[in-house]
């Protein structure tokens, strides 16, 4: 059983859903290609952003997801936690609903994503924030 771990920081982004599959793959590509089978865990070290898997082609999906999340956790609710601004507590709610961790199988040196699946970084705060993930690969390396 082999392990590899790296920390990756995404560029600053404002509120929205961003396709980051290629950024994640680039962060681990030299090690990922060594694994025959395994798991890739991506853990976001923040509480007002999230990760998810979703449609990787149509940009409207990302825009619709932002709209739906804003409807589920609007800034207009009477939150008690308002120390960091009106977008902070809705960001925590969205993060709690969506989650901050993904597990993706590794097959033959690649992430075994479905044809239309991509990794999203969902930024729930209005102003730009840098977000950091810990990416851990675990599994059996190929004999190559």
Strand order, beta sheet including 101-107: 2-13, 129-141, 35-44, 101-107, 110-111
**How many angstroms separate the Cα of 90 from the Cα of each of 16, 34, 41, 100, 130?**
13, 40, 26, 15, 18
What average pLDDT does range 53-68 have in this prediction? Answer: 95
Taking 70 as the threshold, does the pLDDT of residue 144 lie above it?
no
Contact 26, 117 (CB under 8 A): no
What average pLDDT does range 95-123 have in this prediction? Answer: 98
pTM for this entry: 0.95
Q: Taking all residues of the chain, what is their mean pLDDT, rounded to a whole number?
A: 96
């Amino acid at each position: 059983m082999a392990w590899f771990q790296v920390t990756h920081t995404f560029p600053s982004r404002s509120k929205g859903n961003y396709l980051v599959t290629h950024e994640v793959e680039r962060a681990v590509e030299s090690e990922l290609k060594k694994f025959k089978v395994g798991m890739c865990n991506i853990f976001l070290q923040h509480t007002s952003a999230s990760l998810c898997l979703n449609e990787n082609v149509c940009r409207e999906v990302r825009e619709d997801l932002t709209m739906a999340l804003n409807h589920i956790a609007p800034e207009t609710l009477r939150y008690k936690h308002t120390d960091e601004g009106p977008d902070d507590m809705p960001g925590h709610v969205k993060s709690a609903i969506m989650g901050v961790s993904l597990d993706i199988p590794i097959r033959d040196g690649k992430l075994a994503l479905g044809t239309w699946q991509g990794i999203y970084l969902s930024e729930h705060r209005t102003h730009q924030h840098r977000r950091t993930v810990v990416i851990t690969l675990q599994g059996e390396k190929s004999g190559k």
